[in-house]
Structure 1
């Protein structure tokens, strides 16, 4: 089965701009036939998205994005797990508790840098969803502490110094195990963000394949043509399925990222 798909997107359940229903409507308008909602550390927006997909005739896949302990840019997507997903729920509860504690550390960290970022404003932007770094970045921008969201991350929220206050993350093998326990498939997201030389990335894929990795996100907005060709070759070498994802958050969060319908073979997932 070949469908125009986008298998990596975010909603207001984590750090996206649009509600699950709004995202599904935008996906349909973009010509997407299969959409995965992959919020960070939560499955809270899935049922709203699934209902909207059923109403609009668009296939919506249950998804989640989990950051792994080994590298701050190592993210595992879980796709297609069941309506009941106790292993993922247990892991997400632990991750969410760590996020809830982290927001106070981020506020203190930014205060030490001379920025008064009221948590009430950050939480209002989150709208009841998980508080994440993009919410802090938006308040930093609105208060004039930075000139762009990119600057907020490059100077403060994605630095080596910042990593000392980061939240708990599970190892990649434990993320993969939880997703598999609930009947899902696992994907290494945006390999370009790791910044690894070819040999190191290949070694990582070999290790992840050994613990059950199912697929590689070969098509991604930041990938060059050469990178995409290399990732497709790696997927073939290691027997991994090919996925595509925009990592769409909405134009207020990631102004240069749009939904990305890409034709994919999805028999392995649907």
Structure 2
């Protein structure tokens, strides 16, 4: 059983539509895929409508959080998307995305980069505009060679020359809100130091004590030694260890199913969730 619990579509910063994503997941031989767009559940309905037979969809989102000045992401699975508290926070983050992106574009222009809002909006399409779309614009302009090259202090990394802060959840509040919505929380790529500063492992212990369900261990941004250390940390804390691709379509080099989650861990996630349930595919629509 192959289970990938972290993917993105055009509802945020991926390049596959939600329908394309689930079809590609089925073609990649996955049995379960989670759609976890940034702070958004907008792609769920289209993904469900196109879900191929034999593939199960886990609905979710990747929540933008910040702890002691360090950005982090919280994967939330199988929560009630209409629960008022969590919905209000997701809307605050969503509404802050456009002015934040415009602020970063202004900073880039001041640095001599001829990027425009029209270019970034075209790249984002119907998605929730974010740094990856601005990074793609920098690739188009020949400023950097790849999207990942834009996430450096020189450009868009946290605290970088063109960085602009946005509304982000306190992770302890995120855990509380997701729990209240019947969902399950997993700290995404907690040791992805290539992206910037990471929270200390002592903080992961505090999050676990506050109800964090798990940490994402097997991920492209974690070296083998890091994965082994995180797996041991999860065991010591008594929390779940997951694995995922963090698939973004053609925007990143990772592929669907590159890393996967143990079926027993997936089973425990579904047992803990009360806000929503995995959706089994029944063939899907070829036109969704």
Normalized against structure 2, the TM-score is what?
0.85
> Unpaired segments of 5 or more residues in structure 2?
271-288
Aligned mates of 2:244, 2:237 — CA distance in 1: 20
Question: Residue 69 of structure 1 aligns to a residue in which SS?
Answer: strand
Question: What is aligned with 1:65?
Answer: 62
1:109 paired to 2:102: no
Does the 8 A contact of 1:17 with 1:249 survive in 2? yes
Aligned mates of 1:82, 1:126 — CA distance in 2: 27
Question: What is aligned with 1:240?
Answer: 239
Give the CA deviation at 1:159.
Answer: 4.8
Does the 8 A contact of 1:73 with 1:193 survive in 2? no
Aligned mates of 2:143, 2:227 — CA distance in 1: 36
Question: Residue 34 of structure 2 aligns to a residue in which SS?
Answer: strand
Structure with greater helix share of residues: 1
Aligned mates of 1:83, 1:149 — CA distance in 2: 30
- Matched length: 261
Question: Residue 89 of structure 1 aligns to a residue in which SS?
Answer: helix
Aligned mates of 2:261, 2:10 — CA distance in 1: 26
Matches within 5 A, 1:68-79: 68-70=65-67, 71-79=69-77
Matches within 5 A, 1:1-270: 3-53=1-51, 55-70=52-67, 71-82=69-80, 84-154=82-152, 155-162=154-161, 165-194=164-193, 201-251=200-250, 253-254=251-252, 256-260=253-257, 262-264=260-262, 265=264, 266-270=266-270
Aligned mates of 1:162, 1:237 — CA distance in 2: 39
Does the 8 A contact of 2:245 with 2:260 survive in 1? no
> Unpaired segments of 5 or more residues in structure 1?
none
Question: Residue 144 of structure 2 aligns to a residue in which SS?
Answer: coil
Provide Cα deviations, 1:145-188, integer angstroms capped at 9, x if missing partner.
22332332222011523486211111101111121111100001
Aligned mates of 1:129, 1:202 — CA distance in 2: 33
Give the CA deviation at 1:112.
Answer: 0.8
Moved runs in structure 1, 4+ residues, more than 6 A? none
TM-aligned CA distance change 1:162 to 1:37, over 3 Å: farther
TM-aligned CA distance change 1:24 to 1:43, over 3 Å: same
Does the 8 A contact of 1:91 with 1:178 survive in 2? no
Aligned mates of 1:172, 1:68 — CA distance in 2: 6
Aligned mates of 2:163, 2:23 — CA distance in 1: 39
